[in-house]
Amino acid sequence: MKKKTLILGIETSCDETAAAVIEENTGTIPNILSNVVSSQIEVHKEFGGVVPELAARSHIEKIDLIVHKAIRDSGKDLSEMDCIAVTAGPGLIVCLSVGLNFAKSLALSLNKPFVAINHLEGHALSPKLVTDLKFPYLLLLISGGHTQFLSVKKYGKYKRLGTTIDDALGEAFDKTAKMIGIEFPGGPYLEKLAKKGNPERFKLPKPILKKGGCNMSFAGLKTAVLKISKLVKNDEDRNDLAASFQKTIQDILYAKSKIAFKEFRDISKTNQNTFVVAGGVAANKSIRKTLIDVSLEEKFNPIFPPLELCGDNAAMIAMAGLEKLKLKKFDNLNHPAKPRWPLDNKAAFLKGAGVKL
C-alpha cells in the first residue's frame, strides 16, 4: 500500500506557538493526527496586548518542545514527514523568524521539501480540514489583524472585494473590551458578557454602512464606545455595552455580506454559492448565527471551521502545505519572513485601500 503523505505544520506568526501533523487521505479531507497550540496569554496579560519581544522569546523557549509533542502525539516519527510547512508571513517579524528558521533547519537536516505558507491562506483553507470544500468560494476573513471579503478562485488566486479601511474586527473587539475593563485577550470575554446584556440599550454608529460597497470601517465605533465607557458604573452597564457593540458588528456584517454576495455572484459566474468565514472572530457564536441567517436568506451555503480551528493553529498551515505540495510548489531555504504579505497583491497597494466612498 502506498504510504500516505504526512505534513508537519509550524506556526509562530503572533502569540501562539503551534505545531501539527496531518495525513493525506484517500478522500479529500485529511486526518489531523496532532494539533498542539501553546498560547502566550499569561505572558502578555499584564501589558494588555502582545509585546513582540516577549512573544519571540517565548516562541524560542517552546518551539522544540511543541514540535516534539506534535510528532509524538501523531504516533509517527519525524523521519516519516514528507514535507515541512511553516508560516512565513504576515505577522511579527521577530516571531515569524523563530518558526521559519526552525522549519528550515529541520527541512535541511532531514532533507525534506520545504514550503513557506501565507498565514491568511492557512485561515482561508482551514475548513478543508473537516469539509470537502470546493473552489471557487467567497471568503470572509475576520481575525485580529485582517478583515476582508475575498473571492477565492483556486489555490493562491484571490480577488479582494472589500476590506476594513481602519481597524481589523478582532482589534475592534479587543480595544472595546479593554475600554470596558475586560482583560486581554478581550474578544472571547466580550462575547460572554454580551450574552448577559441588552443589545438595544446603546445606539452605536455603523460607519460607511450604506456606501463603499462591501468595505468596512470600525474606528468610529470604537470612539463611540470610548465615550459611553466613561459612564459605565456597574456590571449591568458593562454587559449592555458589550451586547450593544456586538449587535452593531452583527448588523454591519449582515449588510456588508449581502453586498459581497452580489459582487461574488457577478464576478464568479458560478452557481456554486459557498461562503466561508474564517479567522479568530469566526469563533463568535452570535456572529456565526448572523452570517448563517444572511447566507440562508441569499441562498449561500455557509461554512465555518470548527471552533478549535478558528484561532491560530498549525493544522491549517499543514493543510495549506498539503495543497502546495500537491501542486509541487516548493520553496527555497532562503525564503524570507514577510511581515506584510497580502493575499491579493493588486488590491493591497491601492491608494486609500482603493475604497471609493
280 lies in the site for ligand KG4, by CB under 6 A: yes
121 lies in the site for ligand KG4, by CB under 6 A: no
Q: For Zn ion, give the closer residue by CB, 6 or 309.
A: 309
Choose, by CB under 6 A, the member of 9, 127, 145, 212 that binds ligand KG4: 145
For 301, list phi and psi in degrees, rounded to 5.
Answer: -100, 110
Interacting residues of 327 by C-beta distance below 8 A, sequence separation 6+: 155
CA dist 208 and 213 (Å) reads: 9
Which of Zn ion, ligand KG4, none has residue 212 at its interface (CB below 5 to 8 Å by kind)? none
Q: For ligand KG4, give the closer residue by CB, 245 or 300.
A: 245
Choose, by CB under 6 A, the member of 127, 136, 162, 170 that binds ligand KG4: 170
Q: Helix 93-110 and helix 52-74: axis angle, to 10°? A: 30
Identity of the residue numbered 35: N
Interacting residues of 271 by C-beta distance below 8 A, sequence separation 6+: none
164 lies in the site for ligand KG4, by CB under 6 A: no
23 lies in the site for ligand KG4, by CB under 6 A: no
- Residue 223 CB neighbour total at 10 angstroms: 11
Judged by CB under 6 A, the chain residues 296 through 355 that form the site for ligand KG4 are 311-312
CB of 191 to ligand KG4, least distance (A): 4
174 lies in the site for ligand KG4, by CB under 6 A: yes
- The DSSP secondary structure of 248-266, one letter per residue, reads HHHHHHHHHHHHHHHHHHH
281 lies in the site for ligand KG4, by CB under 6 A: yes
CB of 212 to ligand KG4, least distance (A): 23
Judged by CB under 5 A, the chain residues 126 through 185 that form the site for Zn ion are 143
Judged by CB under 6 A, the chain residues 187 through 206 that form the site for ligand KG4 are 187-188, 191
Residue 229: which of 280, 265, 178, 269 has the closest Cα? 178
- Residue 202 CB neighbour total at 10 angstroms: 20
CB of 239 to ligand KG4, least distance (A): 15
312 lies in the site for Zn ion, by CB under 5 A: yes
Which of Zn ion, ligand KG4, none has residue 173 at its interface (CB below 5 to 8 Å by kind)? ligand KG4
CB of 26 to ligand KG4, least distance (A): 30
CB of 341 to Zn ion, least distance (A): 12
3-state secondary structure of 111: coil
Q: For Zn ion, give the closer residue by CB, 19 or 225.
A: 19
Q: Are 81 and 70 in contact (CB under 8 A)?
A: no
Chain residues binding ligand KG4 by CB under 6 A are 14, 143-145, 170, 173-174, 185-188, 191, 279-281, 283-284, 311-312
Chain residues binding Zn ion by CB under 5 A are 143, 312
